[in-house]
Structure 1
Amino acid sequence: MFRRSLISVAVVAAFAHTPVYAEDTTPTAQDDTRLGTVLVTGTRGKSRTVLDSPVPVDVLTAEDIKATGASNGELGQALATLLPSFNFPRQSNSGGADHVRAAQLRGMSPDQVLVLVNGKRRHTSALVNDSSKIGRGTAPVDFNSIPISAIKRIEVLRDGAGAQYGSDAIAGVINIILDDAPEGGEVSTTYGGYYTHQDAIGERTYDGQNTFTTAKAGTKLGEEGGFVRGGAEYKDRNPTNRAGFDAFDGRAEQRNYVMGDGALQDINTWFNSELPIGDAKAYAFGTYNKRHSTGAEFYRYGYEQPAIYPNGFLPQSIGDNQDISLNGGFKGMLGQQWDYDASLTHGRNIFESSTRRTLNASLGTDSPTNFDTGDYELRQSVANLDFTRELSIADRSFVLAVGGEYRYENYITNAGDAASYEGTGADGASGLRPSEESDIDRNVFGTYAEVSGDVTDRFFVDLATRWERYDDAGSKLTGKFSGRYQLTDILALRGAVSNNFRAPSLAQVGFQHTTSNFGTGGTLTDIRVLSVNDPIAKALGAEDLDPETSKNFSIGLTAKFNDNFDASLDVFRIDVKDRITLSQRIGSDAMEQYILDNFGQAGVHDVNFFTNAADTQTDGAELVLNYHQPFADGELGLTTAYTYNHTKVTSTKGTPEQLAALGIGEDALVGVEERNTLTDAAPKDRFVFSTTWSNETWNLLARLTRQGSTTRVFDFGGGDHPEQTYNAVWQVDTEVAYKFTPQFTVALGGNNIFDKYPEKSSDEINYGGNLPYDVLSPVGSNGAYYYGRATYAF
């Protein structure tokens, strides 16, 4: 089936092209294409471009991103629109994932991709997604805290790169290059909303109205190429609701649940600068994000707490997110041969969680209805010192790169207010207790060496090795060999082999939280996430986390048939050992009694904790074809891209003897739900075909996307494991832009213009009709989105 799919895509893609835009938003000649972009990601050698890179790299321009409709101002959604290998589901009723969305590259875990900004390591979120499906148990990089208007281009390396960049780069690297234009600026505003027919309730609605405004400008510093550029963004989003009528409620056609995007207000600011100082250059850049967001929880019926909420109530989660990243450094020449780059980076994320429209039942009628449920903070400071120089070996030119890195990380959690955790705790989101607070840190040292160059006129090689030591997770030596051989004037063979690793994040070591989800018989149950350092977790068999390790293999063909048509096909395998996952929900009456008897904590019936419980194997392939040519007094461009990946669990750890003694059966750590998360919950394949035509006045875009099928498996306890496979969905996006003057442009567009929804969930898993659609569907469950954008450049 996979082979037939590839053949079909190749036939369809015979006319393919990547749309290319110059800085003034008008596509121009071939020398402006991203194929000629000199890459800074994937090798520290010089002058590698997209097609002659030894590993696959995608290049996205600022105009590519803008033409996604700015994706409501969400960088993660823009990447998901443009990159078939990138998955960014819009989750709902999913705890922290309602506030910080997690992304996947090549079907791997969200924390197995390394994110860089201007080549420097980006920090992750402080919040662990403990109630989500995709990204469950991870503290991902928050892509939406990076301002879209700050971006010059994005380079996406689709290959393991731990030997070059260190921990986390198992699936690949996403390097975000900031705008460095020394003059001029832009003001842009976008307004849009969802206009859709909701089959679940038989109504046409208009909601999710979104305003997204950006402004940026730059100016020269001195006369030697210095500059400072900066800007700001503001986003205001109204909520959406795609919940169905509640079959559990006796009132006719009552919508008690919420399924969709929460309300959101978001402010982003950024700057990028460089200043020549003698023969060196000082540089600095940074981003700041402040976001207030809401999320949906599960409905509580009136008979549960009639005194305060006689008609029932729907708790709402609140997130206040602050994110800051600052970098400063110097670069220049040391002597006559060595280039150097010395930098300091500090990143910090603070997530303040709260809940409202709920109660603490144990406090009776005196219960508050709003609660602060805890704060989570991650601090990361990085010092880098990098050197590069050219070498001549056997009359061949090579580039040698060596360097070192020191990283300090600190993870801190603070308890919620007393009312949020006393007794039974706040319903829907019991607060973090003082006994569950964390303040842990670690030091990381790393050093690397890399050499690259043309061994012959046709054969390019890149060799890299890196050693890193974590004072809490041990040492790891990684290596990578990649190469490219020019078979003919048209065809080239490329490939890579490497080993990589990912140390457990401090959030995975120190995070604790209590949430609610459906348990046996579909009833709501509180589940306590335990840190592996918690005495209760230790008594139940939790062990210190080891780093994940991987072996990566890839091989591919690239072809440049002429100046207008090129193609690439890459296949890969990623074997991961000791994959870190959040265990399945573990619970029994005997365990609850054991915790009460030994730790004095009552009512702890269900828990989970982090564990190195699974080994996985991911196989995949990626096809990209590009075609462009002059057409009708403009430039016509076509793009086709297809990705396929399949993950299987090759082995799991058995149930710890401590749990077995409490009557917990087999597969307690990696049960059916967690296996589903790792293997089938995300699409195995995705296809994107887009076409553009533009001239000095018009810019037209149409994009066709096929989101592959997914499978969801649930565990409601007692052997109840409902399962459903959702069919693939096709989506069409369009945009028309008209330039009234060289400075002023207006665009109208729509995403999912044919108002496609995922297949409806079965009665077994739609919770009485309340949640009619799969919250993980890549097409989303909001329907058609339409927008208008006005841009003034100066």
Structure 2
Amino acid sequence: MPLHRRVPLAAAIALALSCAPVLAQDAVATLDQVIVTGTRASDRTALESTSPIDVLDAEDIRRAGAVNGELGSALQALLPSFNFPRQSNSGGADHVRAAQLRGLAPDQVLVLVNGKRRHTSALVSTGSKIGRGTTPVDFNAIPVSAIRRIEVLRDGAGAQYGSDAVAGVINIILDDRAEGGAIEASYGLHHTELAPIGRTLTDGQTAQLSAKVGTALGEDGFLRLGVEFKERSGTNRAGFDQVPPWDQTPANLAVQGQRNYHMGDGDSRDINAWFNAEAPLGEDAAFYAFGTYNQRDTEGANYFRYPDSSANWPEVYPDGFRPVSVGENLDAGLVAGLRAHRGEWDLDASVNHGRNEFTYRLRDSINSSLGPSSPTSFRTGDYAFSQTLANLDLSRGFARGDHFHTLALGAEYRVERYDTGAGDPASYAVGPYTDRPAGSQAGGGLTPQDEANLDRSVASVYASLASSFGERLTTDLAVRYEDYEDFGGELTGKLAARYEFSPAFALRGAVSNNFRAPSLAQVGFESTSTGYNAAGQIVEGRLLSVNNPIARALGATDLDPEKSVNLSLGFTSRIGERFDLSFDLFQIRIDDRIALSEAITGQALTDFVDANFDVARIQSAQFFVNAADTRTRGAELVGNWRDQLAGGHLLLTGTWSYAKTELENVVATPAQLAALDPGYILFGVEESNTITDAAPRTRAQFSANWNNDRWNLLARLQRHGSAKRVFNFGGGFEPEQVYGAEFQLDAEVEYRFNRHWTLALGGQNLTDAYPDLSNEDIYYFGNLPYDVLSPIGSNGAYYYTRIRYTF
């Protein structure tokens, strides 16, 4: 190992051994925190829950998110089964990152804020690998400084919280302190050795500033509010361009050996604002409200266009060009409600509105069919998703002998709306140069015919009963009937129980069925994007809605909802005040899993569409399908040790998770598609790989945290398991590669000068670890040396400093 990499490694190991690491640092250190997720009982803690729950406090989240202020990155560092990879050259995923829980799809986890359903992004991830074809919740639109704690229920919870809670529920609880505040500033950067080009790079400079303050409202009320600003420069891990053989003309060879591509994070800028408030209304009622606001401008990468190419006019770009995608993301959520106590009942009535707007633009691009006078910047489409909910919850507790029960009843009405708007006419125009590709390069704009305007309503009623039968047996029972305007009704239920054999050992288990209707975006989204054909050449492809006549002619059918059955069994153990352990096994069967079809490419497709629909030059087409039934089996282990050491408090945490997904009953290729070309497959190796092998099956972490009145010292060692990538370039060319497991070491030292000021120095990925290099079939002629699959990413080591003032 080179000396400059050996030194930080030795220093990091010394820090880990002398003061010790954090993963879920207080994820289970807050075991005595009463939980509000997964049960209606008002006195249960995480270890007493009938289903596995992680509790992360504000300090855990603040330190873990230090690298870039991203909530999603913090959750990946702290949770045993949370995956949040960094993607590049991946279309919308360059702008809105998707997260996974238990290896399932990003839209199969339900996100709550203060117990209220969070809206999803308006942008479908179409060019990504992880989260492909989903509209995920944008975790990074929620400011880290706003959070008091997070509770993560790792179990199916559709009967308790509604559709989408297949993999679990993440409940983000906002800061509610009535006094005091904090101002925090941080700065960091990547400093790394990029082996494929033999250079040491410094980039990814990130500056963050946040402030929050609280004040009392009346005797028991509060108002807490804050702002955040983040600015991040891009990173680039592209290799030297070898130029594909078919493009090796004299003009193109002139750019050989340069770094023409971009692989890494794009520039980004965030402005966040939030508030959380409650005001008493007499002795038995209170008004509450909370909201978040995020405005984010981001840049994404696209493939390079060579100087001598039908996509280029040398008069405009004599040295070729690489289009840059620009995302303008506006995300806001607002909830207002009333809590009251009437007789034996507690009442909670609320209205919840959330909206995400995304405008997609391109710069440094061209519509070559328009000739040298083409614009070079385009707006390619507008996307918007909104949801409005009204909730009414009633609950009461009652005793029967030494048994205590909490009964809850409720109703919810939700309206969802999804809209897309056409891009600039030049972004989709077919110009007079018919030998040139039409539309803006790196993604043609939405046409007026592509626009979607969809809405639906969802009504549900539900009941739950949380019971304690003495001191040893607790149960949770829930049932919900949910009726979708477009997909009909579904009855879901859950039964969970925990039996404590002794204070040191308890057994818990749960069974539930869950439901997820296709999102409105999966029903109505259409787009044009960039991909590769069998020769590795750039082609323009279309994602068609299932209602599009072209998709219907290729065999598309109406989508059915996903339905799951979840089983879990595990135990918890707590020995004294020092040691606790939980271990849970689970199985999740999902019928009619929704995914994208394989990319249907080739001359047969182009000729068929041109002849029957008068639409020229469609080179690739995809649409959503109920692809297969899946079975996911896994296990999760969390253990903690607390002790006194050297005048301070020591916490050691270890976690391990495993999740394996297998396909069953894969959808058959429809006759229409087979008749067009016997080689066409509706759902094959590439999209199967997306569901089964693209995410690591295992993750493990060991961490330790030591603190006293002045110092807080932590280190964290993570192991990201192996992942597999499979491409389908057509013509039977299906290259694949397994990327091996990687270790990541993080550490931080924080010093408290007095009760107001603290200063921290830290680093993430201190050993400057990278994923395996992609092989020659996948790395695209040296340009893309690393794949996007590994959670460790390809940015290398990151170093930061942080100063904080509290009052």
TM-score category of the 2 structures, normalised to the smaller one: over 0.9
Aligned counterpart for 1:275 among listed residues 272, 275, 279 = 279
Distance of 1:392 and 1:47 partners within structure 2: 14
Correspondence 1:397 to 2:404:
yes
For 1:359, the equivalent position in structure 2 comes to 366
**Contact kept? 1:587, 1:664, Cα under 8 Å:** no
**What displacement does 1:498 show?**
0.4
**What displacement does 1:69 show?**
4.8
**Contact kept? 2:34, 2:43, Cα under 8 Å:** yes
**Contact kept? 2:174, 2:276, Cα under 8 Å:** yes
**Contact kept? 1:17, 1:628, Cα under 8 Å:** no
Write out per-residue CA displacement over residues 110-147 of structure 1, whole angstroms, 9 at most, x where no aligned residue.
00000000000000000000010000000000000000
Distance of 2:694 and 2:195 partners within structure 1: 24
For 2:126, the equivalent position in structure 1 comes to 130
Answer with 695-704 or 65-74: which moved more: 65-74
Correspondence 1:332 to 2:340:
yes
Alpha-carbon distance change, 281 to 422 in structure 1, aligned in 2, over 3 angstroms? same
Q: Which amino acid aligns with 1:120?
A: K
Q: Which secondary structure does the structure 1 equivalent of 2:676 belong to?
A: coil
Q: Which amino acid aligns with 2:755?
A: P
Write out per-residue CA displacement over residues 133-162 of structure 1, whole angstroms, 9 at most, x where no aligned residue.
000000000000000000000000000000
Write out per-residue CA displacement over residues 697-726 of structure 1, whole angstroms, 9 at most, x where no aligned residue.
000001000110111111111000111111
**What displacement does 1:311 show?**
1.3
Aligned counterpart for 1:201 among listed residues 197, 202, 226 = 197
Answer with 34-43 or 298-307: which moved more: 298-307
Q: Gapped runs of 5+ residues in structure 2?
A: 1-16, 244-251, 431-437
**What displacement does 1:664 show?**
4.6
**Contact kept? 1:16, 1:565, Cα under 8 Å:** no
Distance of 2:754 and 2:165 partners within structure 1: 44
For 2:619, the equivalent position in structure 1 comes to 605
For 1:184, the equivalent position in structure 2 comes to 180
**Contact kept? 2:327, 2:359, Cα under 8 Å:** yes
Paired residues for 1:668-747 under 5 Å: 668-747=681-760
Aligned counterpart for 1:350 among listed residues 333, 357, 364 = 357
**What displacement does 1:181 show?**
0.4
For 1:378, the equivalent position in structure 2 comes to 385
State TM-score, norm by structure 1.
Answer: 0.95
Q: Which secondary structure does the structure 1 equivalent of 2:61 belong to?
A: helix
Paired residues for 1:124-523 under 5 Å: 124-223=120-219, 225-248=220-243, 250=253, 251-278=255-282, 279-304=284-309, 305=312, 306-334=314-342, 336-393=343-400, 395-423=402-430, 424-523=438-537
Distance of 2:212 and 2:42 partners within structure 1: 31
Distance of 2:802 and 2:26 partners within structure 1: 18
Correspondence 1:528 to 2:532:
no
**What displacement does 1:452 show?**
1.3
Distance of 2:326 and 2:649 partners within structure 1: 47
Q: Which secondary structure does the structure 2 equivalent of 1:596 belong to?
A: helix
**Contact kept? 1:16, 1:628, Cα under 8 Å:** no
**Contact kept? 1:18, 1:628, Cα under 8 Å:** no
Q: Which amino acid aligns with 2:358?
A: F
**What displacement does 1:586 show?**
1.1
For 2:551, the equivalent position in structure 1 comes to 537
Distance of 1:19 and 1:606 partners within structure 2: 44
Q: Gapped runs of 5+ residues in structure 1?
A: 1-11, 23-31
Q: Which amino acid aligns with 1:43?
A: T
**Contact kept? 1:588, 1:663, Cα under 8 Å:** no
Q: Which amino acid aligns with 2:100?
A: Q
Correspondence 1:56 to 2:70:
no
Q: Which amino acid aligns with 2:415?
A: Y
For 2:42, the equivalent position in structure 1 comes to 46
Write out per-residue CA displacement over residues 282-334 of structure 1, whole angstroms, 9 at most, x where no aligned residue.
00000000000000001110001223212111011000000010000000112
Q: Which amino acid aligns with 1:296?
A: A
Distance of 2:785 and 2:532 partners within structure 1: 16
**Contact kept? 1:459, 1:485, Cα under 8 Å:** yes
State TM-score, norm by structure 2.
Answer: 0.94
Distance of 2:587 and 2:610 partners within structure 1: 46
Distance of 2:218 and 2:515 partners within structure 1: 44
Q: Which amino acid aligns with 2:744?
A: Q
For 1:28, the equivalent position in structure 2 comes to none
Answer with 390-399 or 377-386: which moved more: 390-399
Correspondence 1:787 to 2:783:
no
Q: Which amino acid aligns with 1:156?
A: V
Distance of 2:535 and 2:755 partners within structure 1: 63
Distance of 1:390 and 1:552 partners within structure 2: 28
Q: Which secondary structure does the structure 2 equivalent of 1:78 belong to?
A: helix
**What displacement does 1:89 show?**
0.3
**Contact kept? 2:464, 2:477, Cα under 8 Å:** yes
Answer with 190-199 or 64-73: which moved more: 64-73
Write out per-residue CA displacement over residues 629-683 of structure 1, whole angstroms, 9 at most, x where no aligned residue.
11111001100000011011112111111111211536x2221011111111110
Alpha-carbon distance change, 694 to 662 in structure 1, aligned in 2, over 3 angstroms? same
Q: Which secondary structure does the structure 2 equivalent of 1:792 belong to?
A: strand
Answer with 267-276 or 386-395: which moved more: 386-395
For 2:632, the equivalent position in structure 1 comes to 618
Distance of 1:725 and 1:19 partners within structure 2: 28
**What displacement does 1:236 show?**
0.4
Write out per-residue CA displacement over residues 497-553 of structure 1, whole angstroms, 9 at most, x where no aligned residue.
000011111111111100001121111111100011212112221111111000000
For 1:5, the equivalent position in structure 2 comes to none
**Contact kept? 1:314, 1:358, Cα under 8 Å:** yes
Alpha-carbon distance change, 529 to 664 in structure 1, aligned in 2, over 3 angstroms? farther
For 2:3, the equivalent position in structure 1 comes to none
Q: Which secondary structure does the structure 2 equivalent of 1:659 belong to?
A: helix
Structure 1: 4+ residue segments shifted above 4 A: 15-22
Alpha-carbon distance change, 20 to 691 in structure 1, aligned in 2, over 3 angstroms? closer
**What displacement does 1:16 show?**
10
Q: Which amino acid aligns with 2:268?
A: L
Q: Which secondary structure does the structure 2 equivalent of 1:775 belong to?
A: coil
**Contact kept? 1:16, 1:640, Cα under 8 Å:** no
User: Root-mean-square deviation (CA), in Å?
Assistant: 1.5
Distance of 1:589 and 1:758 partners within structure 2: 37
Aligned counterpart for 2:791 among listed residues 778, 785, 788 = 778
Correspondence 1:760 to 2:765:
no
Alpha-carbon distance change, 531 to 664 in structure 1, aligned in 2, over 3 angstroms? farther
Distance of 1:699 and 1:772 partners within structure 2: 38
For 1:67, the equivalent position in structure 2 comes to 63
Q: Which amino acid aligns with 1:324?
A: A
Q: Percent identity?
A: 56
**What displacement does 1:773 show?**
0.6
**Contact kept? 2:442, 2:529, Cα under 8 Å:** yes
**Contact kept? 2:22, 2:705, Cα under 8 Å:** no
**Contact kept? 1:326, 1:347, Cα under 8 Å:** yes
Distance of 2:303 and 2:719 partners within structure 1: 31
**Contact kept? 1:187, 1:791, Cα under 8 Å:** yes
Distance of 1:786 and 1:376 partners within structure 2: 36
Q: Which secondary structure does the structure 2 equivalent of 1:64 belong to?
A: helix
**Contact kept? 2:642, 2:650, Cα under 8 Å:** yes
Answer with 595-604 or 699-708: which moved more: 595-604
Distance of 2:796 and 2:416 partners within structure 1: 41
Q: Which secondary structure does the structure 1 equivalent of 2:371 belong to?
A: helix
**Contact kept? 2:21, 2:717, Cα under 8 Å:** no
**What displacement does 1:213 show?**
0.7
